Amino acid sequence: IVRETPAEPAPKTPRPNVTLTHPDRVYWPEQGITKEGLADYYTQVWRRVAPFVVNRPLALLRCPDGIDGQKFFQKHAWKGLNRNIRLVEDPKDPGDPLIAIEDLDGLIGLVQSAALEIHPWGATLEDWERPDMITMDLDPGEGVPWQRVIDGALELRQRLQSAGLAAFVKTSGGKGLHVVSPLKPHAAWPEVKAFTKAMAEAMAADAPDHYVATISKAKRKGKILIDYLRNQRGATAVAAYCPRARPGAAVSTPLEWDELSPEIGPDHFTLDNLPTRLAALRRDPWEGYLAAAAPLKPGK
Ligand code: ATP
Ligand code: MN
Ligand code: MN
């Protein structure tokens, strides 16, 4: 009797090897999402989330008692850090280590440490001074219709493309959208910041009724803040595929440009419904992201 060889199992996501204490601890009470539930989610999306969280300095929003308890925004390592999390030294600020991970165990270590939100730098540990991504953060003020935020993202895409950069869009999981450009790490932080500042200011100058480029709440009513300050040394933005420690368990979700619509708001995709979306996708919404990295050209 010739036995058929069993079908090759589908390419498996790696299995984390991290002990979760109190796996049933509830992080998002409304959805009943637990520590273990968050670890399972990250294990499922590991392949997608890895480029955005691995080998970068990370700031963390830690919520040991879930989203309704105390929250700590931590940029530095602390005592008793999970052993899968790496301490890394900022060459410009030695002596007070920052946090990084290098694999899925590290990510699950962050879950074990109640890091409900992960906010990476836009630079990797390989090159702290030269960012490998730009994040333009659209922050709509009160009363701004969602279509206007979409229009702002499309305009940013246009401007970034005119400067020779690719542009990708994600929901923030909060109130806005993030437009992201992958960079070849050539230009240093000050140059990248100046580039994004000039872009935000140009948008505000061209359409002052729609956009502002400076953080001043009074001026923001009915307008969209083009928050370019994610693009300076030490600044962070929530990572793609990471959830928010807010009611609803929304996830900062990469979208195709043509998915942008009034039906998909900033908190549309959540820990509950994102896995279904991902399983049904025919292609990665950010396909070609890494290959699209381009250098910031001087003078653009
Ligand atoms: P939203 O769409 O609601 O604006 P967001 O993630 O873009 O969501 P912002 O308020 O615009 O939120 O903040 C931008 C970024 O600033 C955050 O993603 C985070 O990386 C960083 N940040 C958030 N909280 C803090 C904090 N307490 N201290 C320092 N930086 C923070
Ligand atoms: Mn924002
Ligand atoms: Mn902002």
Each residue's pLDDT tens digit, 4-54: 555 555 556 678 899 999 999 999 999 999 999 999 999 999 999 999 999
139 pocket-lining for ligand 1 (C-beta < 6 Å): yes
Alpha-carbon separation of residue 22 from 15, 16, 82 (angstroms): 19, 16, 14
Residue 16 Cβ inside 6 Å of ligand 1? The answer reads no
Strand 168-171 and strand 86-88: pairing?
unpaired
Q: How many degrees, rounded to 5, is the angle at CA 149 between CA 228 and CA 175?
A: 75
Cβ burial 166-190 (10 Å sphere, 16+ → b, else e): bbbbbbbbbbbbbbbbbbebbbbbe
234 lines ligand 1 (CB under 6 A): no
Closest ligand 1 atom to residue 177 Cα is 2
pLDDT in tens, 114-163: 999 999 999 999 999 999 999 999 999 999 999 999 999 999 999 999 99
* Strands 211-212, 224-227: pairing kind: parallel
Coil vs helix vs strand at 60: strand
Q: Does residue 172 line the site of ligand 1, with CB under 6 A?
A: yes
Amino acid occupying residue 72: F
Which residue lies with its CA nearest to atom 24 of ligand 1?
73
Residue 204, phi then psi, degrees to nearest 5: -70, -35
In this prediction, what percent of the chain has a pLDDT beyond 70?
A: 94
Give the pLDDT confidence score for residue 26 in this predicted structure.
98
User: Which pLDDT value is given to residue 248?
Assistant: 98
For residue range 169-195, list pLDDT tens digits in order: 999 999 999 999 999 999 999 999 999
Ligand 1 pocket test, pick from 139, 146, 228 with the greatest ligand atom count within 8 Å of Cβ, gives 139
CA distances, 33 to each of 39, 229, 238, 249 (Å): 10, 32, 20, 8
* Pocket of ligand 1 contains residue 238 by CB under 6 Å: yes
Expressed in angstroms and rounded, the spacing between residue 55 Cα and the centre of ligand 3 is 24
